[in-house]
Copies of this chain bind each other. A is one copy, B any other.
Amino acid sequence: MAKKEKGAKAELKAEVKELRKELKALRSGPKTGPQVSPLAPASFPRLPVIKGVEFAAAEAGVRYRNRTDVMLVRLAPGTAIAGTFTRSATRAASVLDCQTKLAQRGLEEAGAAIIVNSGNANAFTGSAGQQAVDAISAEVARVLGVPAGRVFSSSTGVIGEPLPHERITAILGELAENLSEEGIEMAARAIMTTDTFPKGATAEIVIDGEPVRISGIAKGSGMIAPDMATMLVYIFTDAKIAAPMLQKLVSRLTDRTFNCITVDSDTSTSDAMIVAATGQSGAPAITSLRSREGRAFERALQDVMMDLAHQVVRDGEGATKFVEVAVTGAADDADARRVAMAIANSPLVKTAIAGEDPNWGRIVMAVGKSGAVADRDRLSIRFGDLVMAENGWRSPNYSEEAAAAYMKGPELTITVDMGLGQGQSKVWTCDLTHRYIDINADYRS
């Protein structure tokens, strides 16, 4: 009896322990350390070395402890640099500084550097914001022997807190000593905030028998609805291409890639993408975007940008589903984009997806509120290949069972045909889950 009692008690104790663990996981998921997104790639890709680019990462203790939080990149003399940035009216000091510096031409023949910290966005920090940028730029310039006008900085993390820039300048000597052409993955890790995995992508083309390589990294997970570029993206290539041509290409591709993703409709104050072309591939220069080489380079760069953009969505805060929203047959492309974004940003659509509920009625709602020209009776809606609705009503072939089965997959495609014209748009988003709230209800604490 006593033994039986003991066994029963042990069982109860085990149950209490288990239940407590479950409660803790439900209540404070992120506090137990970031789990990796279920939509993450299996591993960080092998990124080729880009001649003329070196990386280093270190722990400055800006905000996080026991992890790297600063990355430094040294770019060889002659590197052409282009960038796109958030259009936010409250953009951070570092964003304004990068935009000013990129507008200055004539310094390309000198070397350049990129310095990024995570944990603090240095946004809405008054004149102290620019002072911090200047102090960091000056110290990077001194340590690496490059002009301060060619030091591009970014900061990501909490808004409105003064940036302890002296913690960053204090470790610049150490960073400079550790610069290595192989350091890109460490750099990708150092710029993470609520990201659950580092993001990298690569592509290669051949021009005149010589390989031209592109390697890029990105960070981003929440506050994702880019209006220019998204969060922080750094792409390096050994292609030889002049800065104005590179800028034209990057701006065009941003509209097709990063500006087509949204996690939560919130646009960062710190969005920045920088593309650096060292020209050290050995291949001849790209002198026209319409040439065969120009078009091949554009496709390769677009692949890298799209890959990184998709990875940002795959690491969307709390995401369990990666969703492509494709709109066709709209009156024009702008209307198609309006509809696609209305669907991708609708909390009701996103919670239904999280609940694996094929609630296509909410797609109808989002089309209706988008402001785009729509004719209810010409709409058709598909989930994957399953026709949910057509001719203004539920499809005669509609099967709740088949639709529910489809929703269980981790990658979903929602297609809306407006039945009106030739306008089309594709955007990518994720679902809205409890974890998004867990992560964001106490991000600062």
Binding site for B on A (CB under 8 A): 2, 5, 8-9, 12-13, 15-16, 19-20, 22-23, 26-27, 86, 88-91, 121, 123-129, 158-162, 222-223, 225, 227, 264-269, 345-348, 351-352, 354-355, 357, 359-362, 364-370, 372-374, 376-377, 379, 389, 391-394, 432-434, 436-437, 440-445
- B contact residues around A370 at 8 Å (CB): 89
- B contact residues around A369 at 8 Å (CB): 88-89, 225, 227, 266-267
- B contact residues around A436 at 8 Å (CB): 347, 351
Find the residue from A9, A357, A359 having the highest chain B CB count within 10 A.
A359
Q: Give Cα distance in the complex from A88 to B364, angstroms.
A: 10
Query: Is A359 within 8 A of B443, CB to CB?
Result: yes
Query: Is A160 within 8 A of B361, CB to CB?
Result: yes
Given that A12-B9, A159-B361, A269-B365 are known contacts, is A126 also in contact with B393, CB under 8 Å in the complex? Answer: yes
Nearest B residue to A353 via CB reads B441
Given that A27-B26, A364-B123 are known contacts, is A266 also in contact with B392, CB under 8 Å in the complex? Answer: no
Nearest B residue to A346 via CB reads B266
- B contact residues around A8 at 8 Å (CB): 9
- B contact residues around A269 at 8 Å (CB): 364-365, 368
- B contact residues around A377 at 8 Å (CB): 126
Of B22, B159, B161, B443, the contact of A365 (CB 8 Å cutoff) = B159
15 contacts across the A-B interface (CB closer than 8 A):
A12-B16, A88-B365, A89-B367, A89-B376, A123-B361, A126-B377, A159-B361, A161-B394, A265-B265, A266-B347, A267-B368, A357-B444, A359-B444, A433-B437, A437-B437
Tell me the smallest distance from the CB of A23 to a CB of chain B, in Å.
6
Query: Is A373 within 8 A of B89, CB to CB?
Result: yes
- B contact residues around A440 at 8 Å (CB): 347-348, 351-352, 355
Query: Is A357 within 8 A of B126, CB to CB?
Result: no
Tell me the smallest distance from the CB of A117 to a CB of chain B, in Å.
16
Nearest B residue to A391 via CB reads B126
Q: Give Cα distance in the complex from A375 to B434, angstroms.
A: 35
Tell me the smallest distance from the CB of A391 to a CB of chain B, in Å.
6
Of B12, B26, B161, B222, the contact of A348 (CB 8 Å cutoff) = B222
Closest 9 CB pairs of A and B: A355-B441, A159-B361, A126-B393, A90-B368, A88-B368, A267-B369, A351-B440, A89-B374, A19-B19
